[in-house]
């Protein structure tokens, strides 16, 4: 049998992983080390819930929103479409004019030619509120992007987050889609079962449809 082809679309996590300006950098320390006489190596991890590829949970923008541990997992597994959105300053409704929204329950937008996971991109292509409302109307379950946010960098109102979150649409940011051909796939991007956090890292992969 042929081996299943798995496309890893997650950012690597380490101390060189870029984070949102002002957020907690990723730090890895060792609480036990075999070189120091311990029986095992044990690492300790300190980082923001938004480090690397992650889902923005409802509590991120809503004080009564759900925490990661209580999120339904259905949105994070299933049919997805990767949409080529490179060269755009923002993603408006025309970006999906050729996408069959009846089939593509999860949309992943490739907005960049190349992802440098060690440098934060201050200029990136956010979604417009109009596109967010269109995706709500279409019954989309998840929206993903290779950008660090679905809203503009300087947004104070977080309109797209709120539109999607208010209608139960999952958000995944900081994907790595450099090697992914636009088209249909199966997405798996499960969040950690974090009880108190607002959001969660995910290990996102695509399988052939």
Q: Which two tokens stand for residue 31?
A: 């609480």
pLDDT (mean) for 28-49? 98
Name the percent of the chain lying above pLDDT 70.
Answer: 99
Residue with tokens 């695509």: 206
pLDDT 10s digits, 173-203: 999 999 999 999 999 999 999 999 999 999 9
Q: Contact at 8 Å (CB) between 15 and 25? A: yes
Set 54, 60, 98, 161: catalytic member:
60
Residue 2's pLDDT is 58
Q: Which is it for the CA torsion 109, 112, 116, 122, positive or negative?
A: negative
Q: Residue 202: beta bridge partners?
A: 191
pLDDT tier at 43 (50, 70, 90 boundaries)? very high
Q: Contact at 8 Å (CB) between 184 and 79? A: yes
Quote the distance between the C-alpha of residue 139 and its chain's center: 19
Residue 95's pLDDT is 98
Known active-site residue 60: yes
Q: Which fold has domain 49-208?
A: Glucose Oxidase; domain 1 (3.50.30)
- pTM, rounded to two decimals: 0.96
Angle at CA of residue 200, ends 195 and 204, nearest 5°: 135
CA dist 189 and 9 (Å) reads: 9
- Going by the DSSP 8-state scheme, the letter that residue 54 receives in this structure is E
Q: Which two tokens stand for residue 14?
A: 């380490």
pLDDT 10s digits, 113-136: 999 999 999 999 999 999 999 999
List the chain domain ranges. 49-208
Name the percent of the chain lying above pLDDT 90.
Answer: 96
Q: Contact at 8 Å (CB) between 194 and 67? A: yes
If one counts every other C-beta atom within 10 angstroms of the C-beta of residue 11, the result is: 22
Q: What is the number of residues in the chain?
A: 209
């Amino acid at each position: 049998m042929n081996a299943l082809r798995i496309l890893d679309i997650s950012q690597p996590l380490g101390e060189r992983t870029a984070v949102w300006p002002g957020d907690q950098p990723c730090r890895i320390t060792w609480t036990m080390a075999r070189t120091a006489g311990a029986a095992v190596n044990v690492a300790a991890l300190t980082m923001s819930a938004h480090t690397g590829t992650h889902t923005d949970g409802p509590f991120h923008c809503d004080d009564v929103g759900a925490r990661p541990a209580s999120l339904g997992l259905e949105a994070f597994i299933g049919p997805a479409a990767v949409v080529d959105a490179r060269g755009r300053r923002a993603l408006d409704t025309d970006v999906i004019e050729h996408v069959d929204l009846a089939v593509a329950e999860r949309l992943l937008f490739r907005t960049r030619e190349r992802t440098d996971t060690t440098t934060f991109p201050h200029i990136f292509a956010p979604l417009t509120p109009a596109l967010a409302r269109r995706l709500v109307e279409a019954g989309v379950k998840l929206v993903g992007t290779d950008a660090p946010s679905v809203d503009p960098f300087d947004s104070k109102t977080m309109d797209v987050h709120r539109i999607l979150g208010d209608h139960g649409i999952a958000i995944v940011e900081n994907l790595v889609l450099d090697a992914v051909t636009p088209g249909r796939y199966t997405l798996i991007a499960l969040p950690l079962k974090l009880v108190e956090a607002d959001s969660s890292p995910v290990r996102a992969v695509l399988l052939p449809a």
